[in-house]
Chain A
Amino acid sequence: MTTDLTDYVASRVAILDLVRQMLRDTMKLQIEPEAIDPDAPLFGTGLGMDSVDAVELVIQLDGAFDLELAGSPEAFLTIRTVNTIVDAIMEASGES
Chain B
Amino acid sequence: MSLEDEYRAVRYGAALSRMEHVGLLRLRGDDAIEAVDAICSGDLWVRDGRMLQTLILDEQAQPIADVYVCPDDDTCILMVEGITPEEFSACLARHADPDLEFELENLRPEHDLLSLHGPYAWEVLSKWLTPDIIGLPYLSFYRFDRGVCFRAGKTGEFGYDLVMRSEDAEVARRELLELISSFGGAEVSLETLDLCALENGFFSIRHGSLEGLTPLELQLQWRISTRKPFPGALAIEERRAEGMTRRLTHFAARDGVKTGDALHGPDAPVGEVMTVAFSPGAGGLVGTALLDISVAHPGIDEFFVRQGESTTPIRTVSSPLLVNRSLLVDPHRHSYSTRGDLSPLPLWQGSLP
Binding site for B on A (CB under 8 A): 1-2, 5, 8-9, 12-13, 31-32, 35-41, 44-48, 76-77, 80-81, 83-84, 87, 90, 96
Contacts and interface: CB of A to CB of B under 8 A. Distances in A.
Given A76-B327, A80-B320, A81-B319, A44 B221 contact: no
Contact of B220 (A37, A44, A84): A37
A48 to B, nearest CB: 8
- Which 5 pairs from chain A and chain B are nearest by CB? A37-B219, A83-B318, A35-B221, A40-B222, A39-B219
B255 to A, nearest CB: 24
Given A38-B297, A44-B139, A81-B201, 18 more contacts: A1-B265, A1-B267, A1-B294, A5-B265, A8-B299, A31-B226, A35-B221, A39-B201, A39-B318, A39-B319, A40-B219, A40-B221, A41-B201, A76-B327, A77-B327, A81-B318, A81-B319, A83-B319
Interface in B247-279: 248-250, 265-267
A76 B297 CA distance: 22
A44 B152 CA distance: 10
Interface of B: 53, 138-139, 201, 219-222, 224, 226, 248-250, 265-267, 294-295, 297-300, 302, 318-320, 323, 327
Contact of B266 (A5, A9, A12): A5
A8 B249 CA distance: 16
A45 B45 CA distance: 13
A50 to B, nearest CB: 10
A2 B266 contact: yes
A38 B249 CA distance: 10
B299 A2 contact: no
